[in-house]
Every structure is written in C-alpha cells, then in structure tokens.
Amino acid sequence: MSQPVTAGVAEVVLHLARAQRDLGWAVTVVCPPGPLADRARAAGVAVRAWPARRHPGPGTAAEVVRLRRVLRDVAPDVVHLHSSKAGLAGRLVVRGRRPTLFQPHLWSFDTATGPLRRAARTWERLAARWTHQLVCVSDDELAAGRAAGVAGPAEVVCNGVDVDRFRPRDRLTARRRLGLPDVPTAVCVGRLAPLKGQDRLLAAWPEVRAKVPDARLVLVGDGPMAARWRAACDDESVRWWGHDESVADLYTAADVVVLPSRAEGMALVPLEAMASGRSVVAFDVSGVRQSVGEAGAVLPPGDVAALADAVAVRLADPDAADLEGAHGRRRVELLFDRRQAADHIATLVDKLLVGAR
C-alpha cells in the first residue's frame, strides 16, 4: 500500500510487487489512481484504488474509511505500508490484527515543523505497537526513528536499483540522442519542490559558471515550484527538461549528477547515477553517505559554496569524475542491486507469516 504514485517510493513498490508476484504470491497494490496503478496493472499486478491526498488533513478520516473497505475485500495475510501517509491510514485500519510492515521512506517528523513535528513523533511512537516489522531504507533513517522513541523490531533494507537498466554507456551518444551540446554537463533529477533543494543548486550555479564558463545544467522533473523557480532564473545555461520517465540517457549524458535535497530516506537518484557510472555530488542528508561512498562528494547540508565548488571541480576534470563513477558502479553492483532488497523483504514477510501461524 502506498500513497505516493510517482518517483522513488512508487518505483520501490512496483519492483517489490513484481518480485513477489514472481514468487507465486497473490499481490495487490493499493494506491491512489495514477502512474503507479497504471504501471502495476500493465505488469499484471492486481490494483485496488484508494483515493488519498499526500498529506494528512480534514479528509483523512474518509480516506481511512475507504481503506477499511478495500482491505476487508482483499483480506490480506500481510500488509506492507509504504510512506508516512499510508502508514497512518493503514495502521489505523489494521491496528496490528494482521502482520504489518511499515516502511516510512523518510519520517514525517523529519520534514514537519512546530506542533505538526511533535504530533508526528508522538504518532510514530504510539503506532509502533501496531507495527510488526519496521523497515528502514538506511542506517540514518533507523537511527532517526530510534532517537524519536520509535520502538519495535526493525531492519535496514537499503533501496536498490536495476543494474541492467542503469549501466555505463557512451556519454557523447546519449547527448546526441537527447539533443544536448557536448559541453560539461551537470544533471539534477527530482520533483521540483523545496524538499528536493533545486533552489540551492540554482543559487550555486553562477559560481559554477564562473569557474567553468561553458557548463550546462539540466533539471529533470516537475513539481509545485517549477513555475516560480523557472521565472526567477534567466540563465540560458539552465535547461528545464520537465518530467521524464526515461532518465537513463540523462544520467549517461552527465559529467556529474547533483542531489541538493534537504531530506531523504535513501534517495534512488544517487544509486541510479552510480549504476550509470557517473560521479555524484550531494548534501549529507539521510542515506547519502551510506550510498555514495567514494563515488563523489558528500557535503555539509545546505553549504551552497561547497556545492558550487564540488560541482565545478568535477565538470572541469571529467576524467577524475569518471573514476568516481567507476567506483560507484562497483559499489552499486555489490550493495544496491534491487534484487537483494526484494529477497530481503520476502524473507521478512515469510518470518512474519510463520510467526502469525
């Protein structure tokens, strides 16, 4: 069950559903209408519609009622809840009466402020009694949960990527296919929203251009801040690419991939970039240090000057950046192949079901 229907969470849910279907399990994806539901149906996975907004609000009570009807019809042996919103509604409905896994993909209290932050921490502590297995996507995410007082059995199952889809390819060929010039290129993939921090990268970009005058920045994604940020940017070296499901070529076209996020659980973008053999520059938010290793630069969160310097260094010396990318490819093959994650989740589900019986 998932509320997000796009981006990283949806990608994880879809892969797990396919992998469990291939094990012979009867799998149903419960989510709002959208890309996740469409892709799951196309893959032959059963889907049940659950209209729900991304954030809690006045309509949450009605969403819980609708979810209760869905789960009553499906009658699952085990429930796997992805994201804080699904974790809220799902645990209010199930209340521990069926084996329940909860995978936050970034704690809600890590992005909330003020009274909402306190309420989210309190809820997660209380809801732990209805969680048979907490699944965190990074060591940092688990540590944040424990620091907030979230108790109970927990495992870290790092996100993984398709190492066949994302693999090193020829940069010049990709640029020609995409219509991009053969110049030093930074790529940033993500929803255009404050959490993803593209405004920080845009703030750093003039300094990058001062050091590497022919540099180009490609922003891949759409979101609530797209119009405002684009209107405020008059730099012709910035390409606003928009949403694109086929990002493999865009990683290949890059000299460096940038993740300027304010918060993450464990982002897929660095892993996809590393699998593609590309260097990564990212702020040190949850999961980044664990994923990137020697494949690039991990910077103090919010340090725009350091971001500009790290990006410029790699654009000015693509051979050194490619060496980091080669380290990243080996690291992903060893630690972040998504088949490993699917096997780990399947083992956890098996253990829960054996215990329930």
The two tokens of residue 322 are: 């490619």
> Quick one: pLDDT at residue 227?
93
Distance CA 144, CA 287 (A): 11
Q: Is the pLDDT of residue 193 over 70?
A: yes
- CB distance 267 to 138 below 8 Å: no
> Quick one: pLDDT at residue 5?
77
- In 3D, which of 144, 141, 112, 137 has the Cα closest to residue 268? 137
Q: Is the pLDDT of residue 357 over 70?
A: no
Q: Is the pLDDT of residue 150 over 70?
A: yes
Same fold, 7-160+338-356 and 171-335: yes
Instruction: Give the number of residues written for the chain.
Output: 357
The C-alpha angle 37, 141, 322, rounded to 5 degrees, equals: 80
The CATH H-level superfamily of 171-335 is: Glycogen Phosphorylase B; (3.40.50.2000)
Helices (H), the chain: 7-22, 35-42, 60-74, 84-94, 114-127, 139-147, 171-178, 198-211, 226-232, 248-253, 268-275, 288-292, 304-316, 318-335, 338-356
pLDDT tens sequence across 78-112: 999 999 889 999 999 999 899 999 999 989 888 88
The two tokens of residue 195 are: 């959490």
- CB distance 256 to 146 below 8 Å: no
pLDDT tens sequence across 270-318: 999 999 999 999 999 999 999 999 999 999 999 999 999 999 999 999 9
Work out the average pLDDT over 252-259.
97
CATH of range 7-160+338-356; options 3.30.2130.30, 3.30.1490.20, 3.40.50.2000, 3.30.230.10: 3.40.50.2000
Hey, where are the domains in the chain?
Answer: 7-160+338-356, 171-335
pLDDT tens sequence across 108-149: 888 888 888 899 999 999 999 999 999 999 999 999 999 999
> Quick one: pLDDT at residue 136?
94
pLDDT tens sequence across 201-234: 999 999 999 999 999 999 999 999 999 999 999 8
Provide DSSP, 287-338.
THHHHHTTSEEEE-TT-HHHHHHHHHHHHH-HHHHHHHHHHHHHHHHHH-BH
The two tokens of residue 106 are: 């970034």
Note the pTM of the prediction, 2 decimals.
0.89
- In 3D, which of 355, 349, 354 has the Cα closest to residue 80? 349
What's the maximum distance between 2 C-alpha atoms anywhere in the chain? Answer: 65
Classify residue 276 by its DSSP letter.
T
> Quick one: pLDDT at residue 288?
95
